[in-house]
Structure 1
Amino acid sequence: MVELWDAGVPNVHFLNHSSAEFRVQVRKCYCEGHCPNRQSNGTCEIKPGGMCFTDVEAAINDDGVEYPLRRYGCLPPDDGTFMQCKGHLVPHRQSKSIQCCDDADFCNRDLKISYPERPEPDVPGFGTQDNLPFIVLLTSVTFCLTVFLLGIAFVYMKYRKKEAHGKFGLYSKGYPSEKCPNVDIHRPLTSLIEQSSGSGSGLPILVQRTISKQIHMVQSVGKGRYGEVWLARFRGERVAVKVFFTTEEASWFRETEIYQTVLMRHENILGFIAADIKGTGSWTQMLLITEYHEKGSLFDYLQDHCLESNGLLVMARSIVSGLAHLHTEIIGTKGKPAIAHRDIKSKNILVKRNGECCIADFGLAVKYLSDVNEIEVPPNIRSGTRRYMAPELLSKSIDVNNFEAYRKADVYALGLVMWEMSRRCVTGDKLKIADDYAVPYYDCVPSDPSCDDMSLAVCVKKLRPQVPLRWETDPVLRTMSKVMQECWHHSPDARLTTLRVKKTLARLEPDVTVNIV
């Protein structure tokens, strides 16, 4: 027998070279834990191309202690022996080492193999090429979040800065102290107002900026849906401070804007002094400072006082005069736009000490800019007082693009206010008779009527407040009754204008003295 080793096929012995008969030499390996057919430790055989192997991997015993688990065995040539001997015997187990040999029988028993180190868990982190997408994503998200937070901080700081200096353009940046060099802030309140431009914008801007710090609140004198009214003291004089709820920011802004309209000041419109914002980091108060009238609203005054016909006439004239000034457009370099109040009622009219009245509360007012033919409608959700709404408002048939429609709605409400005052006017020479105070439609709708209640009474049934027969005995009440009925006519086009009402009342005893019972 001649033994030959071929370069490509080891372990081959040719028995008869001339007849090309041969046999394959089988190599033996030591096996333990990886023996074929589950036999006990001992010997396994490999064919040419196979390998003897020894591996070791980390294992856990019943006590939870880690120990090295060694195995010996044979790798057949058809099982990817080369790749397995490169460490891929169990690809998903990285805590394993393996070595192979085929140079002698039982060669794998003497292979020295070290215990493998357990790798760190495969968690995305830094420092490896595989984790580069994760690093880029994390960096991008962090950058975007930082920019977003900086943007929010910038907007917040800008808002706070606006709030500190007066928001919505109330205090312009063009009014630093050096632009008011002649303003003496220690002078009396009246002289300060007179020193202003005369346009009806109240105190000079410099004083308005700091008025909230100099106001001393005395007591609350009223509370409504918009906020609360306080009696306060400023420079030793009594003023009224209207503190708006935070939800009524739009009303505060609108009313301030209307009061600061050029040529707005009028004796029968509530005198505006200043507007300011007072607050800290946690709360904010929007303040509107006006003249204080101790007699209160016309609504409250009529509850406790009766009127003589002369006093009724003075009140009616003053209310119409103030409303006519609002409705009138003044053309000029610094002209005044036409303004509609949109919430005329007895609670929004104040009684002055001389018996006249003045109109207040302009949170719903609208301006008409004739040069651009545009109506400035305030951006708030309030829509007026339902009891005083004109039929076209209740039925939603009003032309919102026609400013004249808003003026006619004011005239309708004016007629109802005149009726309220006339009920409290006494008649009779010896026995003075006056009706108890009542609100319009008190006998037709509930105390807090809905739009449907008012629409049914005013639009469908076309009801109007009753005119007592006793009014015919007094010339002032007789004229007032005719005027108010023309004011609350169902058709807007048939209603009087405020200027027409003013002229009609002016013909009644031009010189009257107030006599309040």
Structure 2
Amino acid sequence: MWLYLVIFGCLSLCVPAPAVEQGRSCVFLTSSRNSRNMEEGRVNGTIQYCAHTNCCVGFFRIIDGQPVAELQGCKMVVGGCLDPTCFTSTTHLDYIRCECSSNLCNGNITWNAEEKQPQLKHSSHSTDMVTAIVVVLGMLLCTLVVAVKCRHRFRGYDDKQHLSLPEESLTSLCSCHISKQSDMDLTSMELQQESIHIVGSGHFASVWQGSYQGTTVAVKVFPTWCKQEFTVEREVYGLPHLVHAGIAHFLGAGRKSDSGDCVLLLELATCGSLSSFLSKNSSDWTTTLKLAQSLSEGLAYLHSDFYRHGVHKPAVAHRDLSSNNVLVRDDGTCVLCDFGSSTILRSCAGPHSWQRYMVNVQSQVGTLCYMAPELLDGCVNLSSGWCLIQGDVYSLGTLLWELLMRCSDLFIGCPVPEHRLPYEELHRQP
């Protein structure tokens, strides 16, 4: 417990320290747990004169509803403390602490017993351990489930249907030979181009709220110079059997008659991107699991490779999976979108041929903080379909972390952290 208290004492706010007043005196508790605080200043009986800081600190254990001092002295880490009195309303397990900036202020603590969290009543390390274990196991379990589903579906091809068809039939039904879709007639489309109706914008396209045949839709508009990205995304959405609750529903594609810009019509996800959703909302454990499950199932289906009803659905590597490329519906589920960087892993050589399949990929793409280290280091063969799939699964792991860091049930007794991108701290460094 003494080590826990010392570590807890070191966790202070990174506030610039005020000028140290010579002779700041704090109540000092003589005990084996307080031995390290001896280095923070001269001790005379029950008083310590701080040498490095202007702050006193106190740790108290709640016994029978009353605070009993277990550590008192000068603050071990140089930092600011604004309150001149030893007051706190935060209870961690059965401990409370305070930092204060007046002489002997840590002698008595004032605290609000009513704000003690009932879930944290038991004085043990088990609560912290359970929280940490739940986070780790939750991420591992979700990633494992997706990896198993991806491997099973991507490998399968639905063997029963495959065995019931001759090899030449399978080749003729391969997705390589699927005819291209024709353009939609967009003359009845109304695009609400006021700034309040813009849904999002990226490197290659902007998304607006619009109306088509009386239905509110998302209208993704590609300028004429982004035709390649439009073609790739349209081709992915047009694949056979690419209809799944975890993938944005595709309504059609065409060109605007006035400008010639390329247009995709998609379902409108009213909660916007996952990044926007997490920046505005924290969620409880049930909601977090719903978001994570729908996200994982959508990616597993995107990676799946099978024949169904005599038609082949090839595997697709997303290659730019990030919280900006995931949408949130109003029912609290996630859907994948933005397939402009994706690669379709077409194969006509029979079941399990994905293991040998090579694709024509010349360069890596994606959002840096979501990319696997081996991709960033250039240590993998980008023409390997399996490596691209693995890269997506790594990105999924970072998204699960992003979700869990906004789960209020994992931060009982303390504020939920603000939404952060993976490795955001590293990107902020000069």
TM-score (norm 2): 0.53
Cα contact 2:327–2:337 (8 A) shared by 1 = yes
Q: Which structure is higher in RCO with an 8 Å CA cutoff and minimum separation 6?
A: 2
Change (3 A) 1:205 1:388: closer
Q: Tell me the distance in 2 between the aligned counterparts of 1:239 and 1:378.
A: 33
Q: Tell me the distance in 1 between the aligned counterparts of 2:242 and 2:393.
A: 20
Note the 1:404-419 alignment, pairs <5 A: 404-419=386-401
2:343 to 330, 347, 366: 366
Partner of 1:434 in structure 2? 416
Note the 1:3-42 alignment, pairs <5 A: none
Note the 1:189-268 alignment, pairs <5 A: 208-210=183-185, 212-218=186-192, 219-268=197-246
Cα contact 2:246–2:334 (8 A) shared by 1 = yes
Q: After superposition, what is the alpha-carbon deviation per residue over 1:224-280, rounded to whole angstroms, capped at 9, x for unaligned?
A: 111210000112111000001223211100000000000111011000000101245
Note the 1:19-418 alignment, pairs <5 A: 208-210=183-185, 212-218=186-192, 219-280=197-258, 283-332=259-308, 333-372=310-349, 374-377=357-360, 383-418=365-400
Flag structure 1 segments of 5+ consecutive residues without an equivalent. 1-198, 448-452, 454-517
Cα contact 1:255–1:365 (8 A) shared by 2 = yes
Cα contact 1:427–1:433 (8 A) shared by 2 = no
Offset at 1:359? 0.4
Cα contact 1:329–1:336 (8 A) shared by 2 = yes
Cα contact 2:247–2:335 (8 A) shared by 1 = yes
Question: Structure 1 residue 421 and structure 2 residue 396: aligned?
Answer: no
Cα contact 1:366–1:377 (8 A) shared by 2 = no
TM-score (norm 1): 0.44
Offset at 1:401? 2.7
Cα contact 1:252–1:363 (8 A) shared by 2 = yes
Q: Which amino acid aligns with 2:279?
A: Q
Cα contact 2:271–2:327 (8 A) shared by 1 = yes
Q: Which amino acid aligns with 2:291?
A: M
Q: Which amino acid aligns with 2:307?
A: I
Offset at 1:325? 0.3
Cα contact 2:282–2:416 (8 A) shared by 1 = yes
Q: Which amino acid aligns with 2:400?
A: M
Q: Tell me the distance in 2 between the aligned counterparts of 1:310 and 1:267.
A: 19
Q: Which amino acid aligns with 2:341?
A: L
Q: Could you say what the CA RMSD is over the residues aligned between the two structures, in angstroms? A: 2.5
Cα contact 1:221–1:230 (8 A) shared by 2 = yes
Q: Tell me the distance in 1 between the aligned counterparts of 2:205 and 2:300.
A: 28
Cα contact 1:239–1:289 (8 A) shared by 2 = yes
What SS is found at the alignment partner of 1:421? helix
Offset at 1:331? 2.7
Change (3 A) 1:375 1:217: farther
Cα contact 2:359–2:385 (8 A) shared by 1 = no
Flag structure 2 segments of 5+ consecutive residues without an equivalent. 1-174
Q: Tell me the distance in 1 between the aligned counterparts of 2:397 and 2:328.
A: 18
What SS is found at the alignment partner of 2:319? coil
Q: Tell me the distance in 2 between the aligned counterparts of 1:274 and 1:323.
A: 21
Number of residue pairs matched by the alignment = 241
Change (3 A) 1:433 1:262: same
Q: Which runs of 4+ in 1 moved over 4 A?
A: 372-379, 428-432
Offset at 1:428? 6.6
Q: Tell me the distance in 2 between the aligned counterparts of 1:342 and 1:435.
A: 28
Q: Tell me the distance in 2 between the aligned counterparts of 1:322 and 1:307.
A: 20
Q: After superposition, what is the alpha-carbon deviation per residue over 1:335-381, rounded to whole angstroms, capped at 9, x for unaligned?
A: 211111000000000001111110001111112223246555579x7
Note the 1:428-507 alignment, pairs <5 A: 431=413, 433-446=415-428
Offset at 1:387? 1.6
Offset at 1:400? 2.0
What SS is found at the alignment partner of 2:313? coil
Offset at 1:406? 0.5
Among the aligned pairs, what percent are the same residue? 30
Q: Tell me the distance in 2 between the aligned counterparts of 1:250 and 1:368.
A: 18
Cα contact 1:369–1:375 (8 A) shared by 2 = no
Offset at 1:403? 0.9
Cα contact 1:423–1:437 (8 A) shared by 2 = yes
Q: Tell me the distance in 1 between the aligned counterparts of 2:411 and 2:392.
A: 35
Cα contact 1:364–1:382 (8 A) shared by 2 = no
Q: Tell me the distance in 2 between the aligned counterparts of 1:410 and 1:403.
A: 11
Q: Tell me the distance in 2 between the aligned counterparts of 1:329 and 1:236.
A: 35
Cα contact 1:390–1:409 (8 A) shared by 2 = yes
Cα contact 1:337–1:367 (8 A) shared by 2 = yes
Change (3 A) 1:436 1:235: same
Offset at 1:289? 0.5
Cα contact 1:364–1:378 (8 A) shared by 2 = no
Q: Tell me the distance in 2 between the aligned counterparts of 1:247 and 1:384.
A: 20
Q: Tell me the distance in 1 between the aligned counterparts of 2:345 and 2:181.
A: 25
What SS is found at the alignment partner of 2:427? coil
Change (3 A) 1:376 1:419: same
Change (3 A) 1:232 1:326: same
